[in-house]
Chain A
Amino acid sequence: MLLTITMKGKNTENLGYLLHKNPCRPQLFDLSFGKAYVFYTEVSDTRTTAALLLELNPIDLARGKLGSKDGGLFDYVNDRPYVSSSFMSTAINRVFSTAMNGKCTKFPELAENDFDFETTVYNLPVKTQKDFVKDVFTPLGYEIKMRESVLDEKFTEWGESCYIDLTLCGNVKLSDMLNHLYVLIPVFDRQKHYYMNEDEMDKLLRHGEGWLAVHPLRNAIINRYFYKKKGYADKMIARLMENEAEETTVNEEISQKKISLNTQRMEAVKKTVLASGAESVLDIGCGDCKLTALLLHESQIKKITAADVSVSVLEKAKQRLNYDKMPLYLKNKLTLIQASLMYKDERFRGFDTACVIEVIEHMDLQRIPFFEKVLFGSAKPKTVILTTPNKEYNENYPTLEKGALRHSDHRFEWTRAEFQAWCEHICKEFNYTIEYQNIGETDEKYGSPTQMGVFKICV
């Protein structure tokens, strides 16, 4: 909501010419999302400070068309009017556009020179990435100061707030600094108030000219700038540096590893399904239909029903499978249904094999007996292939806190002994036999990351 730019040294009144804003005249600019005020809090030969103050109406934010769909922008109780976010970026661009372009009509040479600036961005929402802030601005030639605060001084146990007042000091060109701010403010705060399209890449190229391509954290900056628009981020990086080898971040390495475990799991399940001799398959908790997609192309499989409890997940799966345009011979094999493992369902009956891949750990333990009755008691597939994480293996995930579960929606994770005890119970209660398989790299002490049970009905 507030940005101050202080010029230090001599003849600092020149800041007025640089910014194209008369120090004697406070000005108001009407922007589409609110008002921007530009005024000077001090003017002297040695020190001149300009302020850009934004005023956003929270009810406009909540009722208007502003804001992205996924953010809290639509809420009346909202930090947007009080923080420096993409609104501030846009305001800088609108109010100081001439200065940003490095132009100074009256004294063109001023715009070419470096001066001693001290700029403060108030309430920059940086979450827990204070080191990242340092790493982003230091290479650009700034010395930085941060003022941090507790979330609520009456409840210190709630911890730190996510806001900092960030002060950048440096001997820089004003236009460079404004461009830095324009690009980097939205990098810390992931909520953008406008929809991003292809134009956004050109904008970034223009404002990042000369510094973004060589910034050591270039990829991280771009990825964050295009938060949730990975496609744009990748294109952008490619446009900036076509020849340079891509660096991968630590995060990506971890996700790479995960993907490969997932792939291994899917392959193992597919093999087991085919080996079971199944012609009809029920994929319960199908999620994005990765397994279903794999099995769909196997000629052995004549019929697949993919079920998930979430309508939105099914919609996404349909898109992923390109369901509407799928060739008829594949489409006729496939049925996608919303269904729940907590309710007995006629549509679950009559399948050769049911796959329950990474599903049970998302159910409350108290409700597992319902699932048992629905699947093993009522649907009674000839074969059930069930996978779930092996809790013991978590020791091999250094980033995972001790005792923590792999996913925030996991209600439990079982050790091998716990899983096997449950499987034995199923066999006894519902007349099945069981075989176990490890999926993923097997650790001598802790077993494999995923454990699989293959149940066969006794005839």
Chain B
Amino acid sequence: MRIEIPEFAVVAMIGATSSGKTTFAHKHFLSTEVLSSDFFRAMVCDDENNQNVSKDAFDLLYYAANKRLDRMKTTVIDATNLQPSARKQVIDLAHEQNVHAVAIVLNLPENELLKRNKERTERNVPERVVKKHCTDLKRCIKYLKKDGFRFVYVLNSQEEIDSVEIVRTKLWNDKKDEHGPFDIIGDVHGCYDELKMLLEKLGYIQKNGVFMHPYGRRAVFLGDLCDRGIKNIEVLQLVMDMVKSGNAIAVPGNHDVKLLKYLKGKTVQQTHGLDITVSQLESQSDDFKNEVREFLDGLVSHYVLDDGKLVISHAGIKEEYISRGSARVRDFCLYGETTGETDEYGLPVRLNWAADYRGRATVVYGHIPQTEVQAVNGTFCIDTGCVFGGSLTAFRYPEREYISVKALQQYYAPTKPLDEKQNDTDDILKLGDIDGKLYIQTRLMPSIMVHEKNSAAALEIMSRYAADPHWLIYLPPTMSPCQTSKLDDYLEYPEQAFEYYRNHGVKNVVCEKKHMGSRAVIVLCRDIQTAEKRFHITDDSRGIIYTRTGRHFFNDMKTESEVLDRLQAVLDKTNFWSDFQTDWVCLDTELMPWSEKAQELLERQYAPVGRAGRDGLSEAVKALQKLCQRENIQYEVSEITSGQNFSPFELLEEFQKKQTALEKYTDAYREYCWKVQSVNDLKIAPFHILAVEGQTFSNKPHIWHMEMIRKYCTGDIFIPTEYICVDTENETSVRHGIDWWINLTGNGGEGMVVKPEIFTSKYKGEVIQPAVKCRGREYLRIIYGPEYLLGANLERLKKRSLTGKRSLALKEFSLGMESLERFVHKEPLYRVHECVFGVLAFESEPVDPRL
């Protein structure tokens, strides 16, 4: 006997004691699919026969069942299920989980069961219990369908039981193996002419009277084919022909369901344009009407397509309903959900499910007419109100393009004007998006884990200090220095940076001058419309300059907007916008002077150390000089009472060295300070063109970035960055690189950043450091202290580990690139924010800040 059950279902075994339920279940299902009441009795009290613990045992069993069903895992409830209350629990579970319930009844003759019961050694129950079970079973069988079991299989003999073969069938809504490409078309409402125009615009041609696409594309209709418009019959005919010939897929809309009710002879109110369809149908043949009825009756409320990446339904679908089947799911797909309130037009207020949608599948739906396609969190409402005089829109998948034709006329007056927001498209973030331990999938690194303590720290920073998250499409990664040098008087030296890349298979590197300023990410839109449309910014700003932690760089908006104005002037002049075909740009830059952002640090730490050091050491040197000039000092007497002896001359020399170190230290920090009285005194050096509309540039070599910046982003306060190319395998070239660095840092420069020729480079399949810095000898005084080169200090400092820093640099780099990719691919805010948040979280990881 063949038993068909959906591949996702909750299955109740029903049968008297000793009927072989457990044996049956384990024969046909995975042992993990079977939840047996005996097992859970034993779990709570070590005795699987103890009926007194049934309540707790079933609590656990249903708890486990829910966890499985949440993950769409078929679950078998292995219990007698003879009491109505027990079966109701199964049905309630199925309802709650929007899954079909299946009953498999083992209905064996009473005498057989009594015999088995007697033979059982480990447990036998009183005969009356067996008899009672049999009576209960006989009584319940005929009610099972009515109880709510969608499929009921009754097996009446051991032979039948033994012959069973269980076949798991695909769910009705499962079209995962259909990969498109698709042209998904919104609510047609009898707009036949526009539909034809749209299909033609999409490249469909008529063959034997049926529309089809020469390249095998298929149309997808989102329902509401009829009502309100004037050519309902034609639309029905066209769609039915396309579906039947395999050129289209269709899901039903609420109007279609109402029409079906009418066709089935039920009384329905002929409102909202149904009257038009009905009157047009009257003149049609019964055959046609039957055809329409059968067609509509066969429609499934939502489909899951393309390996689960695309879901279609008329009114959208919540993530937890996808792939599931129940009246509740069907209703949602047809009508959506409402809050129970009505708006000023008397229309129901819709529940904003799209704002909370976090599924990975793209959901395309219609139902809510609006002037434009509404894209929220990976859901697309494409009903652009053709029948109300709007347009008919197709969503091309996988291209994700919108193709529309304007309505030829307004066929029906809308209750509420189309240009008014019908649905709140608000994309505010949820705590769940970034809470606790995170696993972030990126293109460069498969899965990046963020610890809970780090995300907790980032939550505070993001909430208290960061700018509007809509602007934050990228945070820069931390950068590791090179290994320490083997030379006696250098901590860092270019050789080790070149060596790193040479050892990681990179022949050509780019050395860029490291500007000693502060990191500043600039996002600039050409106009406030772009800011609103692309970044959902509504406060009339059209750009931002933010720090590496996502904070506004400038405390006053006036300076920010002046810098942005100047950048725009430069980009306008160089035709950046048209050459890059974009209305916005994101640049990675260094903003100078350092003192602009670090003033507080300078006044609290750097300058005081210089002041105290220079003065203090100068006094110490004076005192020691006086000591050395004195006669009769003894410092080699043998008898030592309290202190030890020391040589004043050596000490003087030592303190003089310290004095020089402090002078050099002071010179070092002064190099990066100047007075800023106006924007004119700022310098900004862009070094990456991170992204523009439609693309990131992480596939371009760094030389491209350098040259494009020189060409397009230079002028006014914007300066290019000096760089050279080095062949790490060529000794002369390496020497040249070292000399270049010596020259750069000898003049007080911070140092250089060495990057592989290609932005994202891999070695043996793994991402390597996107950049390694090599800092100047003098500059390092402000990192490791004025005296870092003296005495044994340098040797001690050379012992440093870069492992932690480098691992962070890779993770942050991968996340930064990922956030840009996601933004450029128009992924929802929460997807972009996740990566940005991840970078901030890693920044709370304690690593040596001097690296």
Contact = CB atoms under 8 A, between A and B. Distances in A.
B257 to A, nearest CB: 32
A151 interface: yes
A81 B620 CA distance: 12
Most buried by A among B613, B624, B632, B643: B643
A59 B456 contact: no
B376 to A, nearest CB: 14
A63 B792 CA distance: 14
A122 B782 contact: no
A24 B632 contact: yes
Contacts of A161: 607-608, 611-612
A125 B615 CA distance: 13
Contacts of B215: none
25 contacts: A1-B616, A1-B620, A2-B619, A21-B643, A25-B633, A25-B637, A26-B646, A26-B648, A27-B642, A30-B644, A59-B788, A72-B605, A77-B605, A77-B782, A82-B609, A82-B615, A122-B616, A151-B603, A152-B611, A155-B673, A165-B619, A309-B459, A310-B460, A344-B429, A370-B468
A27 B646 CA distance: 6
A82 B617 contact: yes
A97 to B, nearest CB: 10
Given A59-B796, A82-B617, A155-B673, A163 B612 contact: yes
B543 interface: no
Contact of A28 (B464, B643, B788): B643
A376 B838 CA distance: 28
A2 B850 CA distance: 29
A162 interface: yes
Contact of A362 (B464, B616, B637): B464
A339 interface: yes
Given A39-B633, A78-B785, 5 more contacts: A24-B634, A28-B643, A309-B463, A344-B429, A344-B430
Given A309-B460, A343-B434, A82 B612 contact: yes
Contacts of A339: 431
A205 interface: no
B675 A157 contact: yes
Interface in A157-192: 157-159, 161-163, 165
Interface string B591-611: 000000000001101111111
Interface string A1-44: 11010000000000000001100111111100000011111110
A429 to B, nearest CB: 11
A200 interface: no
Contacts of B619: 2, 122, 165
Contacts, number: 200
Contacts of B643: 21, 27-29, 38, 95
Interface bin, chain B: 35 or more
Nearest to A372: B428
Interface string A82-97: 1100000000000100
A58 interface: yes
A28 B644 CA distance: 5
A335 interface: no
Contact of B462 (A83, A342, A344, A373): A342
A69 to B, nearest CB: 14
A49 to B, nearest CB: 8
B433 interface: yes
B623 interface: yes
Contacts of B624: 39, 53
Given A27-B642, A40-B630, A77 B606 contact: yes
B608 A341 contact: no
A41 B431 contact: no
Given A25-B634, A57-B793, A59-B796, A158 B623 contact: no
B783 interface: yes
A59 B605 contact: no
A158 B602 CA distance: 9
A151 B611 contact: yes
Contacts of A288: none
A27 B644 contact: yes
Nearest to B464: A309
Contacts of B602: 158
Q: Which 9 A-B pairs have the closest CB atoms?
A: A27-B643, A76-B785, A41-B626, A82-B616, A340-B463, A82-B612, A343-B431, A28-B646, A345-B431
Contacts of B460: 309-311, 340
B430 A28 contact: no
B623 to A, nearest CB: 5
Most buried by A among B429, B611, B619, B797: B611
Contacts of A57: 793
B635 interface: yes
A374 interface: yes
B766 interface: no
A401 B666 CA distance: 34
B430 A152 contact: no
Contacts of A159: 603
B608 A162 contact: yes
A366 B645 CA distance: 66
B666 A152 contact: yes
Contacts of B606: 77
A427 interface: no
Interface of A is mostly: mixed
B607 A152 contact: yes
A149 interface: yes
B429 A53 contact: no
Contacts of A228: none
Given A343-B431, A366-B539, A83 B605 contact: no
B186 to A, nearest CB: 28
B468 A374 contact: no
A216 to B, nearest CB: 30
Contacts of A154: 670
A392 interface: no
B782 A151 contact: no
B642 to A, nearest CB: 7
A296 interface: no
B784 interface: yes
Contacts of B385: none
Contacts of B429: 342-344
Contact of A4 (B609, B623, B646): B623
Nearest to A38: B643
A53 B623 contact: yes
Nearest to B341: A431
A59 B793 contact: yes
Contacts of A163: 608, 611-612, 615
B612 A43 contact: no
B765 interface: no
Nearest to A57: B793
Contacts of B431: 339-340, 343-347
A68 B794 CA distance: 25
A158 to B, nearest CB: 6
Contacts of B666: 152
Nearest to A76: B785
Interface in B670-726: 670, 673, 675
A30 to B, nearest CB: 7
Nearest to A61: B785
Given A26-B635, A152-B670, A158-B602, A77 B611 contact: no
A151 B614 CA distance: 11
B468 A79 contact: no
A165 B788 CA distance: 26
B477 interface: no
A319 interface: no
B457 interface: yes
Contacts of A76: 783-785, 788, 850
B307 interface: no
Nearest to B435: A343
B44 interface: no
A346 B431 CA distance: 8
B793 A342 contact: no
A341 B430 CA distance: 10
Interface in B424-451: 426, 428-434
